[in-house]
Amino acid sequence: MTAIQSAAGLRPYGLVTSRPFRAPHHTASAIALVGGGALPRPGEISMAHGGVLFLDELPEFPRITLEGLRQPLEEGRLVVSRARATFEFPSRFQLVAAMNPCPCGYQGDSVLPCRCTPQAMARYRGRISGPLLDRIDMVVDVPRAEIRVPSAFSPRGSSEGEPSSLVRARVAKGTAFAQSRSAKTLREDLASLDLDSDAASTLENAARVQGLSQRAVRRTARVARTIADLAQVGHVSRSAVLEALLFRSAAPLTAPKAA
Ligand SMILES: [Zn+2]
């Protein structure tokens, strides 16, 4: 991470010890985001190596820029070939992206009506290609949050969600379990994920019925493995696979609900 930041001209002070969080704006050029150029330099995806790359308003990024993410998402590196040399920039980052359900932002909202035409909606969602969506493991529809205004009598309102500290502790436990389970960390192959026979046949069935790609099957199995790690169980069960498939269905992106 220190070498990358140095190559990018960020001048890190000493060794970088904290994970990066990069959130480039959608007006960033393809080269600024992915890397490359006449004199190849690391882009945002490499500066996010070992950390998080957050893309807000995903469909606002030019399609060509987003397509440039496909190779790095799959291989964890960007390779740039020039006449005299080949450059390789590591880019193993966690992609997190956010988008509205439609251009006006209210599709599926419980209070305000959506005013988008089906054509405008299709155009908006069409900016995210199938192959890119295939590399996104979890798609989560987030409903309108209840707004609570603090008052003199309840200065902090009453929050119903879990505090981040609890979530953090659960994630740390799951990570420790995953590490104790397997010395092989990244890029686990299907056989080492320990799916039980019910889980394996459920995944095979879903692949057939939903037309999942080889990649989608592998990625779904890894999400199911993570679900099992969070529950601290050795074998991946059928229910973990079903839960992982729910995240993959991408229903909010592909099937507009009837108004
Ligand atoms: Zn709308």
Q: How far apart are the CA of 249 and the centre of ligand 1, in A?
A: 21
Q: How far apart are the CA of 27 and the centre of ligand 1, in A?
A: 23
Name 78's bridge partners: 89
Q: How far apart are the CA of 55 and the centre of ligand 1, in A?
A: 21
H helix runs in 84-235, sequence order: 118-126, 130-134, 164-181, 197-210, 214-230
Task: Write the DSSP string, 21-36.
Answer: EE---TTS-HHHHHEE
Q: How far apart are the CA of 60 and the centre of ligand 1, in A?
A: 15
The two three-digit tokens of residue 238, written as one number: 């059928």
Give helix 214-230 / helix 164-181 axis angle, nearest 10°.
110
Count the neighbouring beta carbons within 10 Å of the beta carbon of residue 192.
11
Can you tell me the distance from the alpha carbon of 122 to that of 102, in angstroms, rounded to the nearest whole number?
9
Q: How far apart are the CA of 116 and the centre of ligand 1, in A?
A: 4
pLDDT at residue 205, rounded to an integer = 95
Q: How far apart are the CA of 105 and the centre of ligand 1, in A?
A: 5
pLDDT tens, per residue, the chain with 259 residues: 899 988 888 877 889 889 999 999 999 999 999 998 888 899 999 999 999 999 999 999 998 899 899 889 989 999 988 888 899 999 999 999 999 989 998 988 888 999 999 999 988 988 888 888 888 999 998 887 777 787 777 666 556 678 899 999 999 999 999 888 876 555 557 778 889 999 999 999 999 998 888 889 999 999 999 999 999 998 999 999 999 999 986 555 554 443 3
Who contacts 25 (Cβ-Cβ below 8 Å, separation ≥6)? none
pLDDT at residue 259, rounded to an integer = 37
pTM summary value: 0.84
Q: How far apart are the CA of 148 and the centre of ligand 1, in A?
A: 25
